[in-house]
Chains A and B, each alone.
Chain A
Amino acid sequence: MRNPKDFWAGLLFLAIGICAATIVYASDYELGSASKMGPGYFPIWIAGGLMCLGGILALKSFATDGPSLGTWATKPLMLITLGTLAFGAIVTWAGLVPAIVLLVMLASFSSIHFRLTWSLPLALGLAAISVLVFVKGLGMAVPVMPHVLGY
């Protein structure tokens, strides 16, 4: 292919369209008729459209020239996703402070400028600001620290 960005975008849309159509059929969403549409009518048209456009994009990518994909930010992608997942996983029972510290440490590790000397203070500072603003200031019902510690 000569246009990788279009090729992969096309493939992505095609795949999403196929998945959606499969779900519509497999879970038996009724299509209904034009005057009385069922829950599957609108989604199946959209899925069909996505498949068509995805196919067109992918095929056209053999005929047009385009820039390469370039480098992927693999490390930031993984660490930031992991950090966000970790935040969600522990915030309910461990509280805001540990969740924020974990997220900031994981995320800042993806920077080429990573130093413990700035990332740890940043993590603690953000935790303090968040607790002050969201919990004390706006009165949101979010746990601050683990229940074990009596908060």
Chain B
Amino acid sequence: MDIFGNLLTGFGTALSPAHLAYCFIGVLLGTLIGVLPGIGPVSAIALLLPATYALPPTASLIMLAGIYYGAQYGGSTTAILINLPGESGSVVTTIDGHQMARKGRAGVALATAAISSFIAGTVATFVIALFAPPLSLLALKFNSHEYFSLMVLGLMGSIVLASGSLVKGTAMVLLGLLLGCVGTDVETARERFTFGLPELADGFGFVIIAMGIFGLGEVIKNLEDQRAAEVISKKIAGLMPTRQDLRRMIAPSLRGTALGSLLGVLPGGGAVLASFAAYTLESRTARPPEGFGNGAIEGVAAPEAANNAGAQTSFIPMLTLGIPSNPVMALMIGAMLIQGIQPGPLVIQQQPAMFWGIIASMWIGNVMLLVLNLPLVGMWARMISAPYHMLFPSILVFSAIGVYTIAGKQMDVFFLAGFGVLGYVLMKLECEPAPLLLAFILGPMMEENFRRAMQLAHGDVTSFLTRPISAGLLAVSLLALVVAISPSIRSRRQEAFKD
């Protein structure tokens, strides 16, 4: 396996002026949107998706990847400056990051986030280059049984990792699967749950559900309590970390990177699990003088490295198996389908320039983030102080336009409104929407593979357990569930989500 030759091909693609420009625009827009409170990577990508429709496939995916990292980094900025995580991946960052900001070290905290993200991004790029090709070869051996079991593992992961009760998480997965059933049945061409509406013959669009629940639903939720969030208005002085700061962040960054790269590959995992795990690991190993929770630089470096590494390695199952491991990857798959690319193990062989170009552009995007963000931190800080009552109408406008321009159907906008209401109600009842979204995107694939597998096995359910890879995947899912139910982990899990 000639990694360097492949990476060279990739850099050849990614370094073309046009692709560099799209990468830069992606990173810039992503940061710009991600910095806004209440907008995480999912909403940011969904909002900016229409802007990539007109681009050629490689350029559009490079730009989307840039938007993703940018949004992720922007989320950390919001977490540090106003103690409001833009997305679940930066929840942990608020603990020590915001404390640093209150002590007037906001600049150092932001720089730490940028530097540790960069370290993580560099390592993760190599991890992808190293492991994606062999994994895609393995994936070619996958059959319906293995695909089904893998998706079960993914959904189990999303249930275990969602905050709140496991019963609710499971119910949200079932609801997502049910929503995925809407549309024409692939095997029998029978329309299901369409109520005779031609707009539903192909099912609900993923972007509509994502924007409705995450965009509209969250806006309404935020308007419940209309008092202003606490803003750090203190001038951000001393951006650059001292030599001692740098020394302190190296080891946590590397530990976070290792953990993040590993956990990012797991379906259902990605950035969120990675950042929580890294913070826990750090609180066991590092001994910061001020203690965790009081603005320890280790408490920012480790989770930030982990969530960036996890964000990046979560591309591995998407690019090699065609299976999204989180809602962001589901959106990326949607974008690929719009561009006429079927994600899966064959992409790497049929479109090597595009595949390696995307991977190379991940690293380039990380460099740009570093260069872009260090000087712009002051500007982000000012942007965050824009009042929410002027921000949320803009979110609504871009959601509505984004949904309408997918196909120019007004019915899609009506569905958007409906999912906004559903999203708000679900959030109100403390049902986390991420598992629903993942189940919705996996649902049709899961049903198809389940039916095919059962047909091959003549209706014998035990065939999922007699095939080794499939049985292994199911065993891991079961293990995840057992671990989540076991009382000691359970209490710690609740503690972790309380912060």
Q: Contact residues of A with B, CB < 8 Å?
A: 5-6, 8-9, 12-13, 16, 20, 23, 29-30, 33-39, 41-43, 46-47, 49-50, 53-54, 56-57, 60, 69-73, 76-77, 80-81, 83-85, 87-89, 91-92, 96, 99-100, 103-104, 107-108, 110-114, 118-119, 122-123, 126, 130, 133-134, 138-142
Contacts and interface: CB of A to CB of B under 8 A. Distances in A.
B404 A76 contact: no
A83 B401 contact: no
B175 A50 contact: yes
A50 B411 CA distance: 27
A110 B223 contact: yes
A126 B393 contact: yes
A109 B360 CA distance: 46
Contact of A88 (B226, B404, B431): B404
A53 B394 contact: no
Top 10 nearest A-B pairs (CB, nearest first) are A88-B413, A35-B459, A34-B459, A76-B223, A84-B417, A111-B389, A9-B429, A39-B185, A73-B224, A53-B171
A61 to B, nearest CB: 11
Nearest to B457: A35
Contact-residue size bin, chain B (C-beta under 8 Å from the other chain):
35 or more
B8 interface: no
Given A5-B430, A84-B420, A96-B401, A39 B175 contact: no
**Which has the most chain A C-beta neighbours within 10 Å: B390, B396, B398, B457?**
B396
A72 B223 CA distance: 10
Given A84-B413, A85-B417, A49 B174 contact: yes
Contacts of B103: none
A8 B431 CA distance: 11
Interface stretch (B187-195, B339-347, B364-372): B187-195
Interface in B446-480: 447, 450-451, 454-455, 457-459, 461
B400 A142 contact: no
Nearest to A119: B393
Contacts of B401: 96, 100, 130, 134, 142
Given A80-B216, A111-B389, A71 B168 contact: no
Contacts of B421: 77, 81
21 contacts: A5-B430, A20-B193, A34-B461, A39-B192, A43-B192, A56-B167, A60-B167, A73-B220, A73-B223, A76-B220, A84-B420, A88-B411, A88-B412, A99-B400, A107-B393, A108-B389, A111-B392, A113-B387, A113-B389, A126-B397, A142-B404
Contact of B431 (A9, A36, A39): A9
B219 interface: yes
Contacts, number: 198
B498 to A, nearest CB: 13
A70 B429 contact: no
B379 interface: no
Given A12-B429, A88-B404, A77 B410 contact: no
Contacts of B224: 70-73, 76
A21 B299 CA distance: 49
A123 B174 contact: no
A107 B51 CA distance: 24
A126 B359 CA distance: 35
A46 B450 CA distance: 13
B185 A57 contact: no
